Amino acid sequence: MSIVFHASRKDLVRSIARDAFNAGDLNLMNYADRIQELYFTLIPPASQDTNLRQPCDDATGERFEADRRHNRQIVERWVKGRVAEFPDDLEEPWVMALPDQWRDKALTELSARYGLLPAPIPSGGHTAAWTGDIMQSMADVLRDFAPIAEDGVINHLDADDLPAFILSSAKAMGILSSMQRQASEALQEAERRKAR
């Protein structure tokens, strides 16, 4: 058995947030607000293990803004790696608050550690939305594969282009898996109705 070392989950998600920030895709105040909102919604009070504050209204709004600034400062320290501590219960809100493309990257990389694809749960119906999603994801796959396909082989010379292709193809496969599951469930339901 070969051993493959990789970053810890907390280092991975912090690194992705840092990349999003450095790319100009992440506004720290908005990100901190979204993390705080998700954190206090998703994590039961008995399990909360951060010093984030849930902003509360006061007559002047000063307390609310002070709490927001406090949260922004903490999130900025985590994003920029100024503190090593990163509570385990923060991972889910941290990832879910990322901008779409960065959240997709985090979910793909976290899932890949277990040999899984991040397939969205079918929401039922909404074929127009699924059609748009799959068309966009296939366009992304083709865009990311184009520079790799130029010489007709996939090899080590494509190293710079491979990460984007791996990410976009994993997203497309996840969407297709979800659509396939939804179609299978619909077919099973049709067969149950026939059998009645």
Q: What is the pTM of this model?
A: 0.69
pLDDT of residue 116: 80
pLDDT of residue 185: 81
pLDDT of residue 113: 85
pLDDT of residue 16: 95
d(CA 110, CA 93): 14
pLDDT of residue 171: 81
For residue 105, give the nearest of 159, 6, 171 by alpha carbon: 171
d(CA 6, CA 3): 10
pLDDT digit string (tens) for the chain, length 196 residues: 555 667 889 999 999 999 999 999 999 999 999 999 999 999 998 888 888 998 877 767 888 889 999 999 999 999 988 888 889 899 999 999 999 889 988 998 898 888 887 776 655 556 666 777 888 889 999 999 999 999 989 999 998 998 888 888 888 888 888 788 778 888 888 888 888 8
In 3-state terms the chain splits into helix, strand, coil percentages (rounded to 5) of: 65, 0, 35
Please name the residues in contact with 74: beta carbons below 8 A apart, sequence gap of 6 or more: 32, 50, 51, 52
* Whole-number CA gyration radius for the chain: 21
d(CA 107, CA 101): 10
pLDDT of residue 127: 67
